[in-house]
């Protein structure tokens, strides 16, 4: 097993190299560079930049080199732990990202738990009570959550909370707690705000998981070993949870690989609409304005997490299901 | 509302003083500093802060609110965007060497007591206020300006601001004594004062006072004592230049002392707000002697999506804002919710010289096209052929007014009626008549007019895809002009492609919007003098003028360049305006650009509890509103928050 892990870790290096190279190149693919989008941002606000200032900025940001020169200079710094300079935010990339990672992680983790807590029992229920009223009702709700765009749900919830409850909208804290040190009251305030993004992000993914759980479990339930166990007089509850459900969990576990990067990237659109200080919107704006080091670093971090997550889920799967072996 | 909480020591005595002091403020002696905010008085009483008299310079700047003497206290809640945050730059950090006057008629010395200039605008003498201090209590003097000069001149740092450049190179800053500095230019530079009154995000009008020497020295290679490399490593950057840039950013670094009315305590990027608190050493007082600012604290909600701010404004959680949410499409919903949100509107006079400026390439590479586009009769006929009202109704939902590209009537100092209104009325019959008269009488089978060489009469309009209203309006104009028998085509392309084709002079007609409708005409008269790379009607003239090849322009354009040099070669406001008026008059003869419409008005919103915000101010980007209207003099009439 150790040899397997070592081999997998070794494979990661070329994979990550290629991902970072390709993503860095793609960020720069549209015509023009960061300065062009910067200038048009200014022009949209009615201002402009003189030719001299453009030249000064171009020289300061070393935008004249080829993509490859820029890539290798950046990569060299990344290996030493320096992710470079964000043009748009006018400060180091680390400062832009790390300040947001904590809350992003919190929101994503909370919505992941929300999804599991909701989807798992419903999935089991609707498999066991196939085609019952409950099955249809939950499936309908799940699909509704999947079909309604997150941003729309966010806007509607914000509007309702403003007009009906007169509550401050956007962000994760009420104004009076924004800068207050952590306390029980502040935690409570956070929880009072947190349910909105968690519910919005969560509803979208529950439907998928419900269906996966339901389909897997249905497969298992009709297998002979279930019949055998039932014939041997095992209680229905123990039988269900001990064998078929455990097998039906496999897809959940293999999904962990994708959950890890999702924890950091957050839900960009929802975060923008709700004005959450998370990382998702940063990636979006960085890509839009061709802020190449910021976007490149972000994608690099996400790729590392994806690759590690895949490894973890493979290991978990092997641990969970003895039929899978290390090859 | 009922109990006015006058916990500030603004007493009847002070109000009486106002009557005596107001005329005196115009003369030499300024009012005696006598009032300070309760939060500062407490710190003084506790012994943590020097008394008021020791914190202020000998001659503080005296500015008054438009609504009389204010009261201390309150938090100004507003919003900002994280990238390119111009609103904080225009509100809390708008304390540059010079300020625009509130009516935008000119500039006044702000930080210095005075700035004297010689006749030909080559030598400026800056006289600082004695005893003035940074927000940390350290002295502010000529050495700080000299350090800034050193920073600009350093090859690896920001570079000289635009306003320090004359045509023959950058100005030289010299220290005369601790309170006096001279700036000497190799050739006249009348934009010096105007430049410092502006806000730009790159190297701004604040460049002289952005680098407090006693603080910033430690990040400068030539001055740092101790281990600069270790500081660089700690900050997570790779070079000392980056560290220097980072530490000199007023919004990002709460440790950097400033001269601003409010000092950032919670910086941009830390949490979702920027918080700035009053500067105890602020060097301005009102005419009753009360130290400014009146408002204790300014809080910016940093948002990704302005919709969040809009909802906050509707809920009454925004006290004053004139950015991000003040779009025409939001006006209706803001209007409907005025009562619930407890706010009112104020006017921001627009200064766009035009929203849709069609620049006809006078230097077209193709000889026949050049002749056509140079035909003034042809352009005048086209101008009469535009149904401007239709475009305004459909594209700008009525919120615009037909006008050629000109200085607006709202800036009478430079408004030229002929330039603004010639060939303006929609009259297709007249247009057809004019085209016939110009000799384009032959038509082909499809009804399009023919040029003398038998080719179809027509051209292509080039426009950028990112400003949708230009493409939409362009499409309507294509129709208007085709009705006259002119074969016009619209090319909507990426803005970068517009730029490269414009720079290469590969275009017939380009649509752009332009500033220059007010005082900014003196900064960017692009539609009338080809002095900027956006002057699409004469790119080779622009290249020739800056000495980069191009082609020598005809006499009328050389005359425009001479006048433009005159505008920049004298510090005398009246002479500058006079030269500018001539430029605009000549431009009316040239008529190289067809304009369609200018915006009617823009707006901001302000809480009903807030005082001191003028009913009207310029909305131009170049004016940096509301900075020149003195936000430190805004105040709250009641304990609203």
From the list A31, A40, A94, which residue is nearest B466 (CB)?
Answer: A40
pLDDT tier, B109 (very low <50, low <70, confident <90, very high otherwise): very high
Closest-CA residue of chain A to B233: A82
Nearby residues of B176 by Cβ (< 8 Å), 6 or more positions away? B125, B142, B182
Question: Six-digit token pair at B364?
Answer: 């077209």
Alpha-carbon span A258 to B381, nearest angstrom: 64
CA distance B308 to chain A (A): 6
The string of pLDDT tens digits covering residues B122-177 is 999 999 999 999 999 999 999 999 999 999 998 888 788 888 988 888 999 999 99
Using the beta-carbon criterion (under 8 Å), do A50 and B86 form an inter-chain contact? Answer: no
> pLDDT at position B603, please?
92
The string of pLDDT tens digits covering residues B306-325 is 888 888 898 888 999 998 88
From the list A50, A169, A272, which residue is nearest B304 (CB)?
Answer: A272
From the list B299, B308, B352, which residue is nearest A170 (CB)?
Answer: B308
CA distance B305 to chain A (A): 6
> pLDDT at position A312, please?
85
Using the beta-carbon criterion (under 8 Å), do B312 and A51 form an inter-chain contact? Answer: no
The string of pLDDT tens digits covering residues A63-94 is 777 778 888 888 888 888 888 888 877 788 88
> pLDDT at position A326, please?
66
Size of interface A-B (CB pairs under 8 A): 132
Using the beta-carbon criterion (under 8 Å), do B304 and A281 form an inter-chain contact? Answer: yes
Mean pLDDT lowest for which of B50-64, B408-422, B489-503, B616-630? B489-503
Give, as one character, the DSSP assignment of residue B491: E
| Residues of chain A with C-beta less than 8 angstroms from the C-beta of B203 | 53, 56
Nearby residues of A295 by Cβ (< 8 Å), 6 or more positions away? A23, A27, A283, A286, A287
On average, the pLDDT of chain A sits at 81
> pLDDT at position B16, please?
37
pLDDT tier, B2 (very low <50, low <70, confident <90, very high otherwise): very low
From the list A56, A89, A162, which residue is nearest B83 (CB)?
Answer: A89
> pLDDT at position B203, please?
63
> pLDDT at position A47, please?
60
Task: From B114, B183, B119, select the one nearest B145 (Cα to Cα).
Answer: B183
> pLDDT at position B330, please?
86
pLDDT tier, B22 (very low <50, low <70, confident <90, very high otherwise): very low
Question: Which residue spans within B505-577 are E strands per DSSP?
Answer: 509-514
From the list A32, A94, A179, which residue is nearest B275 (CB)?
Answer: A179
| Residues of chain B with C-beta less than 8 angstroms from the C-beta of A94 | 236
> pLDDT at position B398, please?
86
| Residues of chain B with C-beta less than 8 angstroms from the C-beta of A99 | 269-270
How crowded is the C-beta side of A251, counted as CA atoms within 13 Å? Answer: 16
pLDDT at A33 over 70: yes
What percent of chain B stands above pLDDT 90?
Answer: 66
CA distance B239 to chain A (A): 10
pLDDT tier, A31 (very low <50, low <70, confident <90, very high otherwise): low
Compare A126 and A172 and report the one with higher pLDDT: A126
Beta bridge partners of B491: B462
Instruction: Give Cα A145 distance to the centre of its chain.
Output: 18
> pLDDT at position A169, please?
62
| Residues of chain B with C-beta less than 8 angstroms from the C-beta of A95 | 236, 269
CA distance A98 to chain B (A): 10
pLDDT tier, B391 (very low <50, low <70, confident <90, very high otherwise): very high
User: In Å, how far are A255, B347, B407, B526, B527 from B521, measured between CA atoms?
Assistant: 61, 21, 7, 8, 9
Ranked by mean pLDDT, which of A88-92, A266-270, B196-200 comes out on top?
Answer: B196-200
pLDDT tier, B201 (very low <50, low <70, confident <90, very high otherwise): low
> pLDDT at position B3, please?
38
Best A35, A48, A274, A285 member to test B by mutation, with max B CBs in 10 Å, is A48
pLDDT at B4 over 70: no
Instruction: Give Cα B509 distance to the centre of its chain.
Output: 27
Residue by residue, DSSP assigns B269-321 as TSTTEEEEEE-TT--EE-TTSBBSPS-SEEEEEEESSHHHHHHHHHTT--SEE
Using the beta-carbon criterion (under 8 Å), do A77 and B515 form an inter-chain contact? Answer: no
Compare B481 and B23 and report the one with higher pLDDT: B481
On average, the pLDDT of chain B sits at 89
| Residues of chain B with C-beta less than 8 angstroms from the C-beta of A86 | none
Q: Calculate mean pLDDT across residues B239-245.
A: 87
pLDDT at B68 over 80: yes
Instruction: Give Cα A298 distance to the centre of its chain.
Output: 12
User: In Å, how far are B222, B353, B385, B424, B520 from B594, measured between CA atoms?
Assistant: 54, 11, 11, 9, 20
Beta bridge partners of B464: B493
Using the beta-carbon criterion (under 8 Å), do B497 and A31 form an inter-chain contact? Answer: yes
CA distance A45 to chain B (A): 7
- Exposed, middle or buried by CB within 10 Å (0-12, 13-18, 19+), for A123? buried
CA distance B237 to chain A (A): 6
Using the beta-carbon criterion (under 8 Å), do A53 and B202 form an inter-chain contact? Answer: yes
Q: Is the pTM of this model over 0.90?
A: no
> pLDDT at position B562, please?
94
């Amino acid at each position: 097993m150790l040899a397997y892990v070592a081999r997998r870790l070794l494979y990661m290096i070329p994979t990550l190299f290629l991902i970072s190279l390709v993503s860095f190149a793609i960020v720069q693919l549209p015509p023009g560079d960061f300065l062009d989008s910067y200038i048009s941002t200014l022009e949209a606000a009615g201002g402009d930049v003189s030719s001299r200032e453009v030249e000064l900025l171009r020289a300061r940001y070393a935008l004249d080199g080829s993509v490859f020169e820029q890539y290798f200079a950046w990569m060299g710094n990344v290996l030493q732990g320096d992710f470079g300079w964000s043009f748009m935010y006018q400060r180091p990339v680390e400062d832009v990202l790390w300040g947001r990672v904590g809350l992003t992680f919190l929101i994503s983790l909370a919505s992941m738990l929300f999804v599991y807590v909701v989807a798992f029992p419903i999935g089991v229920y609707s498999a066991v009570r196939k085609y019952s009223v409950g099955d249809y009702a939950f499936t309908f709700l799940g699909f509704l959550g999947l079909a309604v765009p997150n941003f729309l749900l966010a806007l509607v919830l914000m509007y309702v909370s403003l007009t009906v409850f007169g509550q401050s909208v956007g962000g994760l804290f009420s104004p009076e707690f924004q800068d207050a040190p952590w306390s029980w009251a502040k935690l409570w305030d956070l929880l009072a705000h947190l349910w909105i993004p968690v519910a919005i992000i969560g509803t979208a993914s529950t439907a998928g998981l419900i269906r996966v759980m339901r389909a897997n479990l249905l497969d298992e339930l009709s297998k002979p070993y279930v019949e055998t166990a039932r014939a041997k007089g095992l209680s229905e509850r123990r039988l269900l949870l001990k064998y078929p459900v455990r097998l039906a969990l496999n897809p959940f576990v293999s999904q962990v690989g994708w959950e890890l990067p999702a924890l950091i990237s957050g839900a960009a659109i929802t975060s923008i609409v709700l004005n959450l200080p998370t990382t998702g919107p940063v990636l979006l704006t960085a890509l839009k304005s061709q802020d190449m080091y910021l976007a490149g670093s972000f994608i690099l971090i996400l790729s590392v997490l994806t690759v590690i997550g895949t490894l973890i889920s493979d290991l978990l799967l092997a641990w969970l299901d003895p039929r899978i072996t290390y090859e | 509302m009922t109990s006015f909480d006058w916990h500030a020591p603004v007493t009847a005595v002070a109000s009486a003083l106002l009557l005596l002091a107001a005329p005196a403020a115009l003369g030499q002696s300024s009012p005696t500093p006598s009032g300070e905010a309760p939060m500062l008085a407490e710190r003084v009483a506790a012994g943590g802060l020097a008394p008021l008299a020791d914190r202020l310079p000998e001659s503080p700047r005296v500015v008054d609110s438009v609504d009389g003497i204010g009261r201390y206290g309150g938090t100004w809640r507003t919003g900002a965007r994280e990238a390119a945050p111009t609103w904080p730059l225009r509100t809390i950090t708008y304390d540059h060497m010079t300020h625009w006057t509130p009516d935008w008629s000119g500039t006044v010395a702000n930080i210095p007591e005075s700035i004297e200039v010689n006749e030909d605008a080559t030598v400026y003498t800056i006289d600082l206020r004695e005893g003035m201090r940074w927000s940390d209590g350290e002295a502010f003097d000529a050495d700080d300006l000299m350090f800034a000069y050193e920073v600009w001149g350093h090859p690896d740092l920001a570079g000289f601001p635009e306003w320090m450049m004359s045509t023959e190179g950058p100005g030289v800053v010299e220290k005369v004594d601790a309170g006096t500095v001279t700036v000497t230019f190799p050739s006249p530079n009348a934009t010096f004062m105007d430049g410092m009154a502006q806000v730009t995000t790159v190297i701004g009008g604040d460049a002289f006072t952005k680098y407090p020497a006693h603080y910033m020295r430690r990040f400068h290679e030539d001055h740092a004592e101790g281990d600069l490399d270790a500081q660089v490593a700690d900050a997570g950057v790779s070079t000392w230049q980056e560290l220097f840039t980072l530490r000199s950013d007023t919004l990002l670094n709460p440790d950097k002392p400033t001269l601003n009315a409010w000092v950032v305590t919670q910086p941009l990027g830390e949490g979702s707000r920027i918080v700035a608190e009053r500067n105890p050493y602020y060097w301005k007082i009102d005419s009753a002697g009360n130290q400014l600012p009146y408002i204790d604290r300014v809080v910016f909600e940093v948002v990704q999506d302005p919709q969040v701010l809009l909802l906050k404004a509707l809920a009454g959680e925004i006290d004053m804002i004139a950015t991000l949410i003040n779009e025409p499409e939001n006006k209706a919903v803001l209007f409907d919710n005025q009562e619930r949100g407890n706010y009112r509107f104020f006017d921001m006079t627009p200064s766009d010289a035009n929203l849709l400026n069609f620049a006809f390439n006078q230097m077209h590479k193709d000889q026949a096209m050049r002749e056509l586009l140079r035909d003034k009769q042809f352009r005048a006929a086209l101008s009469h052929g535009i149904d401007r009202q239709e475009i305004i109704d459909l594209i700008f939902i009525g919120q615009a007014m037909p006008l050629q590209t000109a200085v607006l009537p709202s800036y009478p100092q430079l408004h030229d009626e002929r330039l603004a209104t010639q060939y303006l009325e929609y009259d297709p019959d007249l247009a057809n008549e004019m085209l016939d008269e110009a000799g384009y009488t032959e038509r082909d089978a499809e009804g399009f007019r023919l040029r003398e060489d038998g080719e179809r009469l027509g051209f292509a309009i080039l426009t950028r895809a990112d400003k949708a209203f230009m493409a939409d309006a362009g499409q309507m104009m294509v129709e208007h002009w085709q009705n006259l028998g002119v074969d016009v085509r619209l090319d909507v392309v990426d803005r970068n492609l517009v730029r490269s084709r414009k720079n290469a002079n590969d275009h017939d007609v380009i649509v752009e919007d332009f500033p220059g409708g007010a005082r900014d005409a003196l900064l960017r008269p692009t539609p009338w003098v080809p002095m900027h790379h956006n002057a699409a009607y004469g790119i080779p003239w622009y290249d020739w003028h800056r000495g980069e090849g191009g082609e020598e322009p005809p006499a009328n354009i050389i005359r425009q360049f001479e006048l433009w040099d005159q505008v920049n070669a004298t510090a005398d406001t009246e002479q500058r305006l006079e030269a500018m008026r001539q430029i605009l008059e000549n431009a009316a003869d040239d008529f190289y650009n067809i304009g369609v419409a200018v915006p009617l008005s823009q707006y901001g919103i302000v809480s009903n509890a807030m005082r001191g915000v003028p009913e009207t101010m310029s909305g131009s980007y170049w004016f940096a509103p509301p900075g020149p209207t003195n936000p430190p003099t805004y105040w709250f009439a009641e304990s609203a928050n």
